[in-house]
Amino acid sequence: MEQQQEIELPTLKNKSIDEIDENEHQNISITINENLSTISNLKTNNNDNDDHDGHFKRYWKKWLGKERSPKMTSWDEMLFSFLGSVIGIGIVGTLHYHVLIGRGEEADLQMMIGSFAATAVIIYACGTSPLAQPRNLLLGHFVSAIIGVSLRHALKHVSLALASALAVSISIVVMQILKCLHPPGGATALIAVMSVTNYRWANYFFVFMPVTTGALIMLLVALVVNNLSPKRSYPIFWW
């Protein structure tokens, strides 16, 4: 509801214009200017209220979305996505469980980290995405691992919760600056903070193994498998 405001009008007391003296003329002018200013302020307030309401309407409207979900991926695309993933994760998993860990559960070295699962989805199922290209895959994991390990060492006696939040957030910004945004990189930074530092792979060696080595293996599989499909061409760009 818009608030109604009464506007005071000057009283001339049945005088003609010629009978108005100078002081009354000044008072009338002041009163008219004040009333005009009041009208202007009312219009401004109404416009501000309209803009305020419109802002919230536009904001909530964004929640509704604009488009329908895309069509289902074709069966041949699913086949090559499956082949790439099973081979890529299979090789990394074999090195992890049967070569590096070997006989014991506590290994000084490892090859498998959780962020490689997200990488598999991107490079084997979304090969045309900028997020899946070699620059993004390798550089995204590499810089995120450095940031994660550095923040763990810097803040381990302060707050690992803060280190976790900063590791992921700084990794996102740095990847954007370097044009190598790769979503699993954020997970790699978080894993670096969460890892137990008693093992060699949990410190800066973590950047090279498992992160960079594992990413290179998965990239090699993507180059081989994705290009077997007549409908695929990988990569779109290298650097």
State how far the alpha carbon of 210 is from the alpha carbons of 144, 201, 207, in Å.
Answer: 13, 7, 7
pLDDT tens digits, residue range 206-222?
999 999 999 999 999 99
What is the greatest pairwise CA distance in the chain? 113
Would you say 124 and 226 are in contact if contact means Cβ atoms under 8 Å apart? yes
103 in the same domain as 22: no
Statement to judge: residues 119 and 165 lie in one domain: yes
Domain membership of residue 7 (yes or no) is no
Same domain, 27 and 138: no
Provide mean pLDDT across the span 60-74: 88
Same domain, 193 and 122: yes
Q: Are residues 27 and 123 in the same domain?
A: no
Could you list the residue range(s) of the whole structural domain that residue 49 is in?
Answer: 17-62
Tell me, yes or no, whether 116 and 202 share the same domain: yes
123 and 178, same structural domain?
yes
Examine residue 8 and state whether it is found in any structural domain, yes or no: no
Residue 86 and residue 150 share a domain = yes
Residues 58 and 131 placed together within one structural domain of the fold? no
Same domain, 133 and 48: no
Q: Are residues 137 and 189 in the same domain?
A: yes
Which of 69, 195, 197, 223 has its CA nearest to residue 138? Answer: 223
| Total number of domains constituting the chain | 2
Residue 6 belongs to some domain of the structure: no
Verify that 108 and 174 share a domain, yes or no.
Answer: yes
- The span from the CA of 213 to the CA of 79, in Å, is 26
pLDDT tens figures, 94-153: 999 888 876 555 556 789 999 999 999 999 999 999 999 999 999 999 999 999 999 999
For the record, the structure tokens of 59 come out as 């904001």
Asked if the structure places residue 151 within a domain, the reply is yes
**pLDDT for res 185:** 97
Instruction: With H, G, I as helix, E, B as strand and everything else as coil, classify residue 109.
Output: coil
The answer to whether 145 and 206 are in contact (CB under 8 A) is yes
